[in-house]
Amino acid sequence: MLPNDVKNIFRNYIREKGLRNTRQREEILDAFFSAEKHITVEKLFASIKAKNPGIGYATVHRNLTLLCECGLADEMKIGRQKTRYEPKFGQKHHDHLICLKCGRFIEVNDNKIEKLQDKLAELNDFIPVRHKLEIYGICKDCK
């Protein structure tokens, strides 16, 4: 079961925008926060469809977009792959090590790197807003 805070963020966002809550929305929210991180629409759709064959792909897609809008999800594009989504709630920023063999995502954070990035931006008279650091290589299980 997922924290009530998460549900409330979503429900409040929906109400505030004059939208409506639906069975599908609750299902998608639940499934998304229970599923593997960095999931594609396709996979999330499949997992929901297993229990609710009536669900539509477009509905899942649309609601993932909504989840991004209200800050409960982040969209990520890795190379030519399909867009992935990762649930976001009360966790700080992180970067990824991505295994070239098995595709595993390892979440990492290095405060020194983050600080140096800010320095680097400043040095170039550049105001950093967000960043993406991906290290591709071979994970311990694959070597």
Partner DNA sequence: TTATTATTGATAACAAATATCAATATCAAG
Partner DNA sequence: CTTGATATTGATATTTGTTATCAATAATAA
In the bound state with DNA, the residue whose beta carbon lies nearer, of 18 and 90, is: 18
Q: Which does 20 bind (CB under 5 to 8 A by kind): Mn ion, its own copies, Zn ion, none?
A: none
Is residue 115 at the binding interface for Zn ion, with CB under 5 A as the rule?
no
- Range in contact with DNA (rule: CB under 7 A) among 10-18, 90-98, 106-114, 131-139: 10-18
Structure tokens at 111: 């405060």
Is residue 108 at the binding interface for its own copies, with CB under 8 A as the rule?
yes
- Helices 57-69 and 41-51 cross at an angle (nearest 10°) of 120
Q: How far is the CB of 18 from DNA (least distance, A)?
A: 6
Q: Which does 23 bind (CB under 5 to 8 A by kind): DNA, Mn ion, Zn ion, none?
A: DNA
Q: What is the Cα–Cα distance from 69 to 77, expressed in whole angstroms?
A: 17
Q: Is 44 exposed, middle or buried (0-12, 13-18, 19+ CB in 10 A)?
A: buried
How distant is the alpha carbon of residue 89 from its chain centre? 10
Q: Tell me how many residues contact Mn ion (CB under 5 A).
A: 2
Sign of the Cα pseudo-torsion (87, 91, 92, 95, in order): negative
Q: How far is the CB of 118 from its own copies (least distance, A)?
A: 9
